[in-house]
Amino acid sequence: MNESAALRDSVRRLLADHGDDPGLWGRLCKEIGVGGLTVPEEYGGSGATVAEASIVLEECGRVLSGVPAIGSLLAAHALLGAGPQTRARLLPPLCAGDRVVALAWNGPAVIDGDRITGSFTDVLDTAAADTLLIAAAGEIVQVEGAILEPQPTLDLSRPLTTVRLDEAPIVWRDASHTLPGLRDLACSALAAEQVGTAERALQLTVEYVKVRHQFGRPIGSFQVLQHRLADLYVRVQAARSVIGNPTVAKLWCSETLRAVAAEMVQMHGGIAITWEHDAHRYLRRAWASADLFGTPAAEVARLAPEFLDT
């Protein structure tokens, strides 16, 4: 087994065996180094690349895990651009899973002297986090008096928070040169997770249609279901290839996951529309994650403003 497969395997196993365990994130960090995959070894990380992080995120996506994997990846990225003292202070506990950082970065803010005013949506992991950092205007900032508002979301397995700062006093600050890349990294990270979710949703559906019998045979033997599943397979296969391009990933992976989740509901028939079954969790994740860090339509507009001119 090569290293990628070994990483995938060990993450999958921990998620399966300890999915509900509050210490899961700590184990993932300490046993596999998930918290600092992209962080150099001198700061307690594994010195690996975004490719390895993608593997971890796919695995988290498969089981709709609530661990702070995307948030930690983004926080590590932001911190790596900061000064040596900041790096030395914050990265090692982040990598070890001893500290969970919620990073607020998706929104406008103004720093005026030692106070900051702004509003950030789509902040992850505020329940699990012990530290809230703000990324704004080229700086990483820690504040007092941040207002945390739960953000309405379809997705029951990923609460979102809006962070509002109203002339909040800055406790500590440091410049970071990596902040401009945050959004692209966030979209790619999310896409990796979406690929894992889509793949698992497709797999669960395939398994279900193999065993569900109607008219005296498994419904998976019916040609129309086979062909629709084959079309999804084609989309999911391609999705894996586009993770590295944030724009293509946002559109393709979001749409792929929505298509898979909708078919998952349809092919599971009645049981899919119950709380007892997981199908609705995948569907909710599909719609909510498509809109996380910007909607697909906004991405098209970002890509080329003229794409929406008619």
Partner 1 sequence: MNLDLEPADVAFRDETRTWLAANVPATPLPPVDTPGGEPAHREWERRLAAAGLAAVSWPVEYGGRAAPPLHTLLFDEEYHAAGAPVRIGQNGLFLLAPTLLGHGTVEQCARILPPMARGEEVWAQAWSEPSAGSDLAAVRSRARRVDGGWLLSGQKTWSSRAAVADRAFGLFRSHDGERHRGLTYLMFGLREPGVTVRPIRQLDGTTGFAEIFLDDVFVADADVIGVPGDGWRIAMSTAGHERGLSLRGPGRFTAAAARLIGLGRNRRVADSWIAARAYRMQACAALDEPVAPSATKLFWSALDVDLHETALDLLGPLAETDGGWSDGYLFSLAGPIYAGTDEIQRSILAQRELGLPR
Q: Which residues bind partner 1 (CB under 8 A)?
A: 121, 151-154, 206, 209-210, 213-215, 217-227, 229-231, 233-234, 237-242, 244-245, 247-248, 251-252, 255, 262, 265-266, 269-270, 272-276, 280, 283, 287-288, 291-292, 295, 297-298, 300, 303-304, 306-310
Q: Is 214 in the site for a second copy (CB under 8 A)?
A: no
Least separation in angstroms between residue 106's CB and partner 1 is 11
- Which of a second copy, partner 1, none does residue 238 bind (CB under 5 to 8 Å by kind)? partner 1
Q: Is 13 in the site for a second copy (CB under 8 A)?
A: no
CA–CA gap between residue 298 and residue 68 (Å, rounded): 25
Indicate the residue among 38 and 86 with the shorter CB distance to partner 1. Answer: 38
- Kindly write down the DSSP assignment for every residue of 276-295, as one continuous string: TSTHHHHHHHHHHHHHTTS-
CA–CA gap between residue 36 and residue 30 (Å, rounded): 10
- Which of a second copy, partner 1, none does residue 233 bind (CB under 5 to 8 Å by kind)? partner 1
Q: Could you tell me which stretch among 79-87, 121-129, 159-167, 222-230 binds a second copy (CB under 8 A)?
A: 222-230
**Within a 10 A sphere around the Cβ of 35, how many other Cβ atoms?**
33
Interstrand relation of 101-104 and 139-143 (parallel, antiparallel or unpaired) = unpaired
Q: Is 222 in the site for a second copy (CB under 8 A)?
A: yes
Indicate the residue among 117 and 121 with the shorter CB distance to partner 1. Answer: 121
Question: What's phi and psi for 177, nearest 5 deg?
Answer: -90, 0
Interface residue with a second copy, options 227, 237, 304, 307 (CB under 8 A): 227
Residues 6+ apart with CB under 8 A from 35: 25, 28, 29, 45, 72, 76, 94, 95, 96, 97
Least separation in angstroms between residue 291's CB and a second copy is 16
Q: Which of 56, 47, 113, 111 is nearest to 80 (CA)?
A: 47
Q: Which of 170, 164, 173 is nearest to 114 (CA)?
A: 170
Q: Is 215 in the site for a second copy (CB under 8 A)?
A: no
Indicate the residue among 13 and 227 with the shorter CB distance to a second copy. Answer: 227
Q: How many of the chain's residues bind a second copy (CB under 8 A)?
A: 6
CA–CA gap between residue 273 and residue 266 (Å, rounded): 9
Polymer length in residues for the chain: 310
Q: Is 223 in the site for a second copy (CB under 8 A)?
A: yes
Taking only Cα atoms into account, the Rg of the chain, rounded to an integer number of angstroms, comes to 20
Q: First CA to last CA across the chain, in angstroms?
A: 51
Indicate the residue among 95 and 229 with the shorter CB distance to a second copy. Answer: 229
Least separation in angstroms between residue 276's CB and partner 1 is 7
Indicate the residue among 102 and 202 with the shorter CB distance to partner 1. Answer: 202
- Which of a second copy, partner 1, none does residue 49 bind (CB under 5 to 8 Å by kind)? none
CA–CA gap between residue 143 and residue 156 (Å, rounded): 29
Indicate the residue among 122 and 174 with the shorter CB distance to partner 1. Answer: 122
